[in-house]
Amino acid sequence: METQFNRLLKKTGVYGIVNRVSHPIVFIEGLPKAVTHEIILFESGLKGEVFSINQGIIEARLFSHDPVKVGEKVTKTEEILSIPVGKSLFGQSINPLGEPIDSTIKFIRPKETREIEGGKPIGIDGREKITKNLLTGITLIDLLLPLGKGQRELIVGNRKTGKTSVLLTTIKNQVKEDTVAIYAAIAKKKSDIKKVQEFFINEKINNKVIMVSTNSYDSPTLIYQTPYAAMTIAEYFRDQGMNVLVVLDDLSTHAKFYRELSLLARRFPGRESYPGDIFFAHSSLLERAGNFKHPKVGEASITCLPVVETVEGDLASYISTNVMGITDGHIYFDSNIYYQGRRPAVNIPISVTRVGRQTLTKLTREINKHVSSFLTQYDRLLNLSHFGQELTPEVKKTMQLGDLIYILFNQPYQEIVPHQIQLIIISLILQGVINNKDILYKLKTSLIKIYDVPEWRKWMEDISSTNSIKTFNDNVISNKDKLLSLT
């Protein structure tokens, strides 16, 4: 029976010989006319990818943990590493080769494929200014660290500080706004991948979410390709005129596996033994996100939220500073804040958003400035109070308001607070209408429940439809009794 290897060998008429193996890197002699990122087939049936051609020696990366033997023949497939793209991927969890991971879910393989490397990113002439707000449904982020559609915002912090929880809540909120969500799980535990899948199913949003995942037992080659495969799928939906949100969880793990591949290939190590082109690898990936011109719908965006895990809060580590230099800001998750019980555990003074504020309306920009300056004053007074200073009534009032704002920011996992509700409640707090946490909790819960009722939603939208903070505050006060009746 003729094997696939023999058929390809007859078709191409060329082969090479494995002369050295440093698993998963294979060094091959011969194989003329091979090109980088071409898929090659070994005599044993295993597949690999050409990633370097150096003085007649081809370096290839294997897609599996199974080894190849020295002296084994290998031939070309004349296919560039690609992934299937299409709407049938919704609700699926696939690996970077486009193969389904969960065999219990029916999988219809899309007919169209795209090369994973994606070619050259779209230049500045094909991009638009970021002007649309991307709402996460998380009050602290939407009010103080706003994001824009097309922004690249780094999510950074120690492990187990709630980064993934915030990202999943953001996906949940964006899917409601008809955004395509792509979650790339890079070398995660199988149990963690399963939990994310269950979240999407339980929240009934899996029909708008695609997962590209590799677990920690997969080949380093597959793990390395995970974020590129996710971005390739995102580009397909962008070209259909849709807005896309891509979560890359996480790039620090991705960098470690790329370092492993580079060291095995005997590349010269740089700082912390990472390869010299690690910055290029991540920058060329993240440059594929942005807000782009589209011939039919005007513009379509790819918003990218890469994650980097720090050790003991070290923001000056190599990969952290690299990705900070590529992105449009970062949200820092602080272990100390997490252990204090605040959720999300975001360190506001250290976090930055560079293009998000330009997407705000005049009203939300004024509220952003007002709340930010107030919290700076609150933190200063909080530090003074620790020294046992006697507090004046004015200081006590400021402290009480600051406490209520942080209680508002303390948001349970999976809870989404619509933007109009965020604005109304922060206005009530700053004007002294809400003066204790019980009223705050009751009002927030009631407003979230009735938000889906069309007349209530329109009423809230009408209150916040002005550009003047004074008019907005007056609108809120004039509806104070109606609002408090909900408590």
Residues 406 and 355 in one domain: no
Q: Let me know: does 143 contact 367? Beta carbons within 8 Å.
A: yes
Residues 123 and 243 in one domain: yes
The parent domain of residue 125 ranges over: 83-359
CATH of the domain at 65: 2.40.30.20
| Predicted local distance difference test score (pLDDT) of residue 392 | 81
Residues 252 and 386 in one domain: no
Among 316, 332, 359, the domain-final residue is: 359
Residues 389 and 458 in one domain: yes
Query: Which residues are CB-contacts of 83 (< 8 A; sequence separation ≥ 6)?
Result: 94, 96, 97, 98, 113, 114, 116, 229, 232, 233
In 3-state terms, what secondary structure has residue 32? Answer: coil
Residues 220 and 241 in one domain: yes
**CA pair distance 176, 179, nearest whole angstrom:** 7
Among 327, 359, 391, the domain-final residue is: 359
Please report the beta strands in 137-266, taking only residues with DSSP state E, as ranges in sequence order: 147-148, 154-158, 180-188, 209-215, 244-249
Name the H helices within 265-304. Answer: 278-286
Q: Let me know: does 140 contact 368? Beta carbons within 8 Å.
A: no
| Predicted local distance difference test score (pLDDT) of residue 388 | 55
Q: How many of the other CB atoms lie within 10 Å of CB of 284?
A: 17
Residues 88 and 140 in one domain: yes
Residues 185 and 228 in one domain: yes
Residues 21 and 73 in one domain: yes
**CA-to-CA dists, residue 318 to 14, 100, 287, 296, 350, angstroms:** 43, 34, 19, 41, 18
Among 62, 80, 98, the domain-final residue is: 80
What is the domain count for the chain?
3
Residues 267 and 321 in one domain: yes
- Closest to 428 (Cα-Cα) out of 481, 357, 390: 481
Residues 56 and 188 in one domain: no
Residues 470 and 407 in one domain: yes
| Predicted local distance difference test score (pLDDT) of residue 380 | 85
Q: Let me know: does 337 contact 347? Beta carbons within 8 Å.
A: yes
Q: Let me know: does 51 contact 59? Beta carbons within 8 Å.
A: yes
**CA pair distance 16, 30, nearest whole angstrom:** 4
> Which of the residues 127, 354, 365, 457 is marked catalytic?
354
| Predicted local distance difference test score (pLDDT) of residue 386 | 62
- Whether 354 is catalytic is yes
Consecutive 10-residue runs of the chain (487 residues): their mean pLDDT? 86 93 93 92 94 90 92 94 95 94 86 86 93 96 97 96 96 95 96 94 93 94 96 96 96 96 92 94 96 95 97 93 96 95 94 94 95 91 69 84 95 92 96 92 95 94 92 94 90
Residues 105 and 241 in one domain: yes
| Predicted local distance difference test score (pLDDT) of residue 1 | 57
**CA pair distance 225, 448, nearest whole angstrom:** 40
CATH of the domain at 145: 3.40.50.300
CATH of the domain at 421: 1.20.150
| DSSP code for 300 | E
Strands 180-188 and 244-249: parallel
